[in-house]
Amino acid sequence: MNDRNRENIKQPSLAVEIAGLRLKNPVMPASGTFGYGQEYAPFFDLDELGAIVTKGLSLNPKAGNPTPRIAETTSGMLNAIGLQNVGVEAFIRDKMPFLRQYRTPVIANFFGNSLEEYGEMARRLSDLPEVAAAELNISCPNVKKGGIVFGTDPQAAAEVVSLVRRHLSKPLIVKLTPNVTDITVMARAVEEAGADAICCINTLTGMAVDVRRRSLRLANLTGGLSGPAIRPVAVRMVYQVVQAVKVPVIGVGGITKAEDALEFLIVGARAVQVGTANFVDPQAMPKIVAGLQQYCREQRVDDINDVIGSLQVT
């Protein structure tokens, strides 16, 4: 057997580590595009994922925004769902038992309507052994309270992050909005306040008009733009944040295939999240994992960590 064949047989390692969390590969869903996992279980084994990220959870159930809530745009979509979710109690009672059968780590995304609620949610999630890490959402553009209020002001962000950090006994990922002048200011603020990892970007605020009716296409007026249309913006912002902080960064925004995920990894993201692509193809994520493996083989890389941050800047 020659050397080349031997190389082909060896599987490259895709395992990465984020804030003490060991993931078998760097691919996970973006919160809000994967339900609570069960919705996509008919299409592939969820254990093929690096992690499962839940729909954003709040202390009390949330009914969400009026309709229409989504609008398709060029290479993307606008959404203003309004953080509809079953609430943390129903999550524990109805959704957690299903997730328990998987070994892949569960990351609970959460938000609050006030500082107190963020703190209370952090305590509740700390009690759950099935939750491996928490992702703090301070970036939803579609609700007035909570979400983006904390995500656009560095002092408010630092305040909520340090409060959550005090009450949370698990790794804390903070998800940032791109709807700021300089995302590195926010990244540094949350890192200093105790974030163990940063996830970016959430959706870009956008708007669409029905020209025939001369009306808005979303009842909420504005919505969050996601999908391939935002990927270059996301890659740029992830690159900037990677340069600005020491904590690991999870890259998200418009990934539909392995090459897209690799852009984020090469500019320094330790892992990636896949969002809108799950709607387009329920098997998008396992395909991306397979594509990363193929890339490593083609590039003769044994370990995906050798790809992360390998950008050649001339």
Partner 1 sequence: MQNYNTTILSNQELSPGYYRMRILAPGFVAASKPGQFLMIRVSGGLEPLLRRPFGIFRTGFLPADCQGLPDKEYVEILYKVIGSGTAILKDLHQGDRVELLGPLGNGFDVQPAGEQILVGGGIGLVPLYMLARQLVKTGNVRLLMGGRCRDDILAVTEFERLGVATYVSTDDGSLGEEGLVTDVLQRKLDKFPQAMVYACGPMPMLRAVHELCHIRKVPLQVSLEAFMACGVGACLGCVVKGAGHTESDPHYLCTCKEGPVFRADQLEWDKLEAGHEDCGCEEEEA
Structure tokens at 232: 């270059």
Q: Is 221 in the site for partner 1 (CB under 8 A)?
A: no
Q: Is 12 in the site for partner 1 (CB under 8 A)?
A: no
Q: Is 238 helix (H, G, I), strand (E, B) or coil?
A: helix
Residue 268, C-beta contacts closer than 8 angstroms, at least 6 positions apart = 238, 239, 242, 243, 249, 308, 309, 311
Q: Is 200 a catalytic residue?
A: no
What does the DSSP 8-state code read for residue 210?
A: E
**Which amino acid is present at 219?**
A
Q: Is 48 in the site for partner 1 (CB under 8 A)?
A: no
Structure tokens at 306: 């050798």
Nearer to partner 1, 149 or 219 (CB): 219
Binding pattern for the stretch 83-102 against partner 1, x by CB under 8 A and - elsewhere: -x------------------
Nearer to partner 1, 67 or 169 (CB): 67
Exactly one of 140, 199, 200, 296 is catalytic; which is it?
Answer: 140
Give the angle subtended at the CA of 240 by the CAs of 313 and 298, to the nearest 5°. Answer: 50
Do the strands 27-29 and 52-53 form a parallel or antiparallel pair, or are they unpaired? unpaired
Binding pattern for the stretch 14-43 against partner 1, x by CB under 8 A and - elsewhere: ------------------xxxx---xx-xx
* Dihedral angle computed from the Cα positions of residues 298, 303, 308 and 311, in that order, rounded to the nearest 10 degrees: -50
Among 2, 74, 101, 312, the residue binding partner 1 under the rule CB under 8 A is 74
Residues 222-241 that bind partner 1 (CB under 8 A): 227-228
- Which chain residues interact with partner 1 by CB under 8 A? 32-35, 39-40, 42-43, 63-64, 66-70, 72, 74-77, 79, 81, 84, 227-228, 256, 276, 278-283
